[in-house]
């Protein structure tokens, strides 16, 4: 392995850091592995560069609060927003996860416990969670069990920092400290009788209740608390969605607004030669696979190749063409096109300085025509773009995702690009 490459296991470990959303296994390594062929300096600089990339993340996450009565369709609306924001990393935090959990005494008299009162939530912990996520740190969110009314003692959901944080719950607008953390507040407004019907079905099917206890709890606690706390907090909403998840128009408008706020399109407006390759769940699925510390080397190479192929194909689509005529086996003339320039591939580890050096080294005598950004790794790449030298002759540069900077890329893929460069550390 050359001085400039980094062991795959380490690259993947570093890449599983806090710039990813979603679940993360507890107890993952966060320090470099002890046995490795790369120099300690290399290993240290990769580790610190990831931490740095996080601290330097230019924008704070966009925090959306979604409130509404029980069974109004909050979760459904959140799922629809997440689906439509597929090209951004989004995490969903449920206020329910911050239920305090009942003491033995309270459990004995569970029918007298008011789960709809603000005091039943640990709001300090909820605030701490959102503040940490906003500042780019990950957070161990508790797991609450609606059947036992307890939190799991030995497990939690490790939520990582993301572009968008959605906080959902009946009382997320009640406390001013929580409201102040939000950039957008949505209230899902559904008729009480529809909500009650849904709640009866959901609580008997999913939460282990019988109809009588659901109705009793509804009359004693749920409805009064809705009138006292949930409904009055509706006035804080920026957007009210009647009919919840059925309201596709409202959800489309909200998603459009979030896209604008995240400034994805502005990047392309400011830098006309930047092209962002839209992410899809399929692409993110492959990124997830290659970053998994348990992936086999064979699968790592297989999925890396598939990802690189997407970038290469996209890059080829940006090359200029000239007309070319060929003679077919039946002796007719076919007028087609031929590339008139070549691609230059650059694989970069996500670090401001080393990326710049990589580009400078790679692009000596080359003018950068188009820059392709693969969304999964675009933070570092936006950074480097702003520092690019512009005194170089004409060629196209293709930036591959940093985690793919290994020597395992297949020859077939390597053959698609004119020149490649590997930079580690
Ligand atoms: N538009 C809808 N039509 C029919 N059922 C729905 C609709 N929206 C939600 N539901 C169902 O109602 C129940 C509660 O919805 P959910 O989105 O979990 O509400 P909340 O998060 O506000 O409690 C779920 O069982 C869900 O499948
Ligand atoms: O142990 C518990 C905790 C909560 N509840 C009820 O849940 C709803 C809130 O959840 P939604 O998904 O927003 O409906 C709240 O009205 C509580 O009454 C519970 O029954 N048991």
**Residue 274, pLDDT score:** 60
Residues 28-83: pLDDT tens digits? 222 222 333 222 222 111 222 222 233 333 467 899 999 999 999 999 999 999 98
- Name the residue range of residue 401's domain: 269-424
329 shares a domain with 247:
no
> In angstroms, rounded to a whole number, what is the distance separating the alpha carbons of residues 3 and 42?
9
With a 6 A CB cut-off, is 76 part of the ligand 1 pocket? yes
With a 6 A CB cut-off, is 169 part of the ligand 1 pocket? no
- Cβ neighbors of 123 (< 8 A, separation 6 or more) are 98, 175, 177, 178
From residue 341, alpha-carbon distances to 315, 369, 395 in Å are: 11, 10, 7
Strand, helix or coil for residue 347: strand
User: Tokens representing 279?
Assistant: 């992410």
How do 164-168 and 184-189 pair as beta strands? unpaired
With a 6 A CB cut-off, is 146 part of the ligand 2 pocket? yes
> In angstroms, rounded to a whole number, what is the distance separating the alpha carbons of residues 193 and 86?
33
Of 262, 289, 319, the position where a domain reaches its end is 262
With a 6 A CB cut-off, is 96 part of the ligand 2 pocket? yes
The answer to whether residue 406 is domain-embedded is yes
| Residue nearest (by alpha carbon) to ligand 1 atom 16 | 73
From residue 259, alpha-carbon distances to 188, 238, 252 in Å are: 20, 17, 11
Q: Which atom of ligand 2 is nearest to the CA of 75?
A: 12
274 shares a domain with 243:
no
Residues 95-111: pLDDT tens digits? 999 999 999 999 999 99
| Residue nearest (by alpha carbon) to ligand 2 atom 2 | 146
Count H helices and E strands in the chain, helices first.
16, 14
- Residue 423 DSSP code: E
- Residue 365 DSSP code: T
**Residue 423, pLDDT score:** 37
Proximal ligand: closest to the CA of 145: 2
Q: How many domains does the chain have?
A: 2
Residues 279-329: pLDDT tens digits? 778 887 887 887 778 888 788 778 877 877 777 777 777 667 788 999 999
CA atoms within 13 A on the CB side of 422: 16
With a 6 A CB cut-off, is 244 part of the ligand 1 pocket? yes
ipTM of the complex: 0.98
**Residue 6, pLDDT score:** 30
What is the CATH number for 241?
3.40.50.300
The answer to whether residue 340 is domain-embedded is yes
């Amino acid at each position: 392995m050359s001085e400039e490459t980094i062991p795959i296991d380490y690259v993947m470990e570093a890449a599983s850091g806090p710039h990813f959303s979603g679940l993360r296994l507890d107890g993952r390594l966060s320090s470099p592995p002890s046995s490795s062929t790369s120099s300690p300096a290399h290993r240290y600089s990769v580790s610190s560069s990831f931490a740095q990339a996080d601290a330097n993340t230019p924008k704070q996450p966009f925090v959306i609060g979604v409130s509404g009565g029980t069974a109004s369709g909050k979760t459904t609306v959140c799922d629809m927003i997440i689906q439509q924001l597929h090209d951004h990393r989004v995490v969903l935090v449920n206020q329910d996860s911050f239920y305090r959990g009942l003491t033995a005494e309270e459990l004995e008299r569970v029918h007298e416990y008011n789960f709809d009162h603000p005091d039943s939530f640990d709001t300090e912990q909820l605030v701490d969670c959102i503040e940490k996520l906003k500042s780019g740190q990950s957070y161990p969110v508790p797991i609450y069990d609606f059947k036992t009314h307890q939190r799991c003692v030995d497990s939690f959901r490790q939520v990582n920092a993301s572009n968008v944080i959605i906080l959902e719950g009946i009382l997320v607008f009640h406390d001013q400290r929580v409201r102040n953390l939000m950039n957008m507040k949505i209230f899902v407004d559904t008729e009480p009788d529809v909500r009650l019907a849904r709640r009866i079905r959901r609580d008997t099917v999913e939460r282990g209740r019988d109809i009588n206890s659901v109705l009793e709890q509804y009359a004693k606690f749920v409805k009064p608390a809705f009138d006292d706390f949930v409904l009055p907090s509706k006035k804080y909403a920026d957007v009210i969605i009647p009919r919840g998840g059925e309201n596709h128009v409202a959800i489309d408008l909200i998603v459009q607004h979030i896209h604008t706020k995240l400034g994805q399109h502005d990047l392309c407006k400011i830098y006309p030669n930047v092209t962002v390759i839209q992410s899809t769940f399929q692409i993110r699925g492959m990124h997830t696979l290659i970053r998994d510390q348990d992936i086999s080397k064979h699968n790592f190479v297989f999925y890396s190749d598939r990802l690189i192929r997407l970038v290469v194909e996209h890059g080829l689509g940006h090359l200029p063409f000239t007309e070319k005529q060929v003679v077919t086996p039946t002796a007719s003339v076919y007028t087609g096109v031929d590339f008139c320039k070549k691609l230059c591939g650059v694989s970069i580890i996500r670090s401001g300085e080393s990326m710049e050096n990589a580009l400078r080294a790679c692009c000596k005598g080359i003018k950068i025509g188009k820059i392709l950004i693969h969304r999964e790794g675009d933070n570092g790449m936006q950074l480097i773009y702003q520092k690019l030298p512009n005194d170089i002759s004409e060629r196209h540069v293709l930036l591959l995702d940093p985690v793919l900077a290994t020597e395992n890329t297949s020859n077939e893929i390597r053959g698609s690009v004119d020149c490649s460069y590997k930079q580690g550390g």
